[in-house]
Copies of this chain bind each other. A is one copy, B any other.
């Protein structure tokens, strides 16, 4: 195994597990402890991890950029996507924003579906390349590379002249009280506008997101017509249902 490959693997492990023990790594990576120690020292010098006695710690919050997220073909997300398919019918005008879950969804759309898909996400648009009976409309704007969606004033303005039957919202963070939130202002503005111009809104969220929040609030949770999720605990489900949200489990 290449040194860089190994170090990359260490970073990934650290990303998931928050801390690592040198001796464990030695076994998992099948190299001597000395080598692991040298790797940890390297990564520490690069400022990527914090070296401590017996192992190392993650420095910031877990970082997953879009391309790696895309690589993670999570079983959970795929299942969510399937549930959402029930709400999609022929002749609908459907607004879809970005996110890996939504990407999973469009990949599973039947090729025969006749509908109009409006999106501000280039990867979503590209995924629909082979769907010959779909009309795909891209909303332009400034490309926000972290999540690969178009944002900004132009995007909001373009949305003004649109009416959709259904908005399929990729959910970054959601909390029953606080509502739906995202880390950037312009993302929140665009999502809010998308809500405005859509008759119904479906949110897709894996269960780990159900009690989380971020900096910029998009809308209250009960703006959602349906919240599609999985493995949700009874009490959490109740909290959403009390808001009048239809939770699909």
Give Cα A52 to B132, complex, Å.
Answer: 32
- Report Cα–Cα, A67/B5, bound state, in Å: 28
A138 touches B136 (CB 8 A): no
Tally of A interface residues using CB under 8 Å: 42
**B129 adjacent to A126 (CB under 8 Å):** no
Q: Which of A53-79 contact B (CB under 8 A)?
A: 53-55, 57, 60-61, 66-68, 70-71
Residues of B within 8 A of A142 (CB): 135-138
A219 to B4, CA, bound (A): 51
For residue A150, CB closer than 8 A to chain B, the reply is yes
The one of B53, B67, B126 that contacts A122, using a Cβ cutoff of 8 Å: B126
Q: Is the Cβ of B60 less than 8 Å from the Cβ of A67?
A: yes
Give Cα A52–Cα B5 distance, bound, in whole angstroms. 10
Chain B residue with Cβ nearest A126: B122
Q: A148 on the interface (CB 8 Å rule)?
A: yes
- Mark interface residues in A132-160 (1 if CB within 8 Å of B CB, else 0): 10011111111101001010001000100
The contact of A145 among B5, B21, B136, B141, by CB within 8 Å, is B136
CB distance from A135 to the nearest CB of B (A): 7
Is A125 located at the chain interface by the 8 A CB criterion?
Answer: yes
Q: Is the CB of B53 within 8 A of A2?
A: yes
Contacts of A148 in B (CB 8 A): 126, 129
Residues on A lying within 8 angstroms of B by beta carbon are 2-5, 19, 21, 50, 52-55, 57, 60-61, 66-68, 70-71, 120, 122-123, 125-126, 128-130, 132, 135-143, 145, 148, 150, 154, 158
